[in-house]
Amino acid sequence: MKVKNKTHIYIIVSFLLLIVLFLSAVMIGRYNVSVSDFFKIITGNDDVPIIDKNIVLNLRIPRTIVALLTGVALSISGLVYQEIFNNKLVSPDLLGVSSGASVGAAFAIVLGYTGLVISLFSFTLGLITMFLTLIISRVFKSSASVFLLLAGVIIGGFMSSATGLFKYLASSDRQLSEITFWLLGSFSSVTYDSVIILLPIVLFGVITLFLLRWKINILALGPEEATSVGVNYKALRMVVIICATLLTAGTVAIAGVIGWIGLVIPHISRILVGRNTKRTIPLTMMIGACFMIVVDVISRSFTSTEIPLSVVTGFLGTPLFLIILYTKRGIVNERD
């Protein structure tokens, strides 16, 4: 079967799976909602318990939407970073964005802020961190990607230390536990306001990267090859980096730091349809959204308190990654 046809099949199947998972996630949890009651709620029938209605409409629907958007954003960010830097081991926190966003959130928590103010601090510091990374990379006076990576490591390390400082300065066990829990990722405080904030950020970043998906293939070839075919390498790479940063900073600001998804999901897409961002970007969107919804359901369904998202992604992502690499080891090489 041709790769193009396989890609269409994978995308259709993953899209249908996403719909099933989304509807299931709204009904499944520590308190289950029956299928009949769910359809009564979404059709406006008031002949259902008020608690069921509140759980579905005010808790699970916005939470599942944010989980979907988070999965899309982080997986695509990881994919484009891996492509433009030609490094399969990078993830969305490559340029220190997650570390910077963590500093912003920890700072806001120490100051006593709550809710969306924490998200605002987090998002702002995440963007500032990216620009600091870009500025420092200019000090090396080289266009080589390795210097941008080094700048990201430098800034990320500094921001991690700053986060540690704010944890030390936390005035109470409540603040410290809040910072720690936030750093591990959670959808527990998600509301419709979170959806309204995150949705335009994700739409902008995803649509831009989707429209540029064939050019990202050219970026992966390097500056000389890209320039030779008429592509402005520096400008296009900057656009891709900004979009990926917006996606990462936006999700971290709303849900905290979530590991693994930006590393594992791109590998799954490449193994299924090959290394071509025209195919991997749409497939990565679907798989990432499915994966994150499953993670959210697991995090809130089996214990009296929620399991942090990064804990779940770590337990799922590690064996999944090992299994994929082992079963597909014959085709995983430098150009896959």
Residue 320 has pLDDT above 80, yes or no: yes
- pLDDT tens digits along 142-167: 666 778 888 888 888 899 899 999 98
- pLDDT tens digits along 241-260: 999 999 999 999 999 999 88
Distance, in Å, from the CA atom of 100 to the CA atom of 124, rounded to the nearest integer, reads 9
pLDDT (average), residues 168-197: 88
DSSP 29-75: SSS---HHHHHHHHTT---S-HHHHHIIIIIIHHHHHHHHHHHHHHH
Query: For residue 1, what pLDDT band results from cuts at 50, 70 and 90?
Result: low
Count, residues in the chain:
336
CB-based burial, 96-115: b 16+ in 10 Å, e otherwise: bbbbbbbbbbbbbbbeeeee
Distance, in Å, from the CA atom of 102 to the CA atom of 80, rounded to the nearest integer, reads 22
Distance, in Å, from the CA atom of 179 to the CA atom of 163, rounded to the nearest integer, reads 9
Residue 211 has pLDDT above 80, yes or no: yes
pLDDT (average), residues 201-214: 93
Query: For residue 335, what pLDDT band results from cuts at 50, 70 and 90?
Result: very low
Residue 233 vs residues 83, 86, 144, 152, 278: alpha-carbon distances, Å: 14, 14, 12, 20, 18
Residue 220 has pLDDT above 70, yes or no: yes
Nearest alpha-carbon partner for 237 in 204, 199, 209, 278: 209
CB-based burial, 220-258: b 16+ in 10 Å, e otherwise: beeeeebeeeebebeebbebbbbbbbbbbbbbbbbbbbb
Nearest alpha-carbon partner for 130 in 236, 262, 240, 245: 245
Hey, what amino acid is at 281? I
Phi and psi at residue 186, to the nearest 5°? -165, 150
Which pLDDT does position 59 carry in this prediction?
A: 92
Which pLDDT does position 331 carry in this prediction?
A: 54
Distance, in Å, from the CA atom of 147 to the CA atom of 170, rounded to the nearest integer, reads 35
The rounded percent of the chain whose pLDDT value lies above 90 is 46
- pLDDT tens digits along 70-96: 999 999 999 999 988 887 778 888 788
Distance, in Å, from the CA atom of 2 to the CA atom of 25, rounded to the nearest integer, reads 34
Query: For residue 121, what pLDDT band results from cuts at 50, 70 and 90?
Result: very high
Phi and psi at residue 90, to the nearest 5°? -85, 160
Nearest alpha-carbon partner for 155 in 71, 114, 99, 76: 99
Hey, what are 334's tokens? 């430098």
Which pLDDT does position 150 carry in this prediction?
A: 84
Distance, in Å, from the CA atom of 151 to the CA atom of 273, rounded to the nearest integer, reads 32
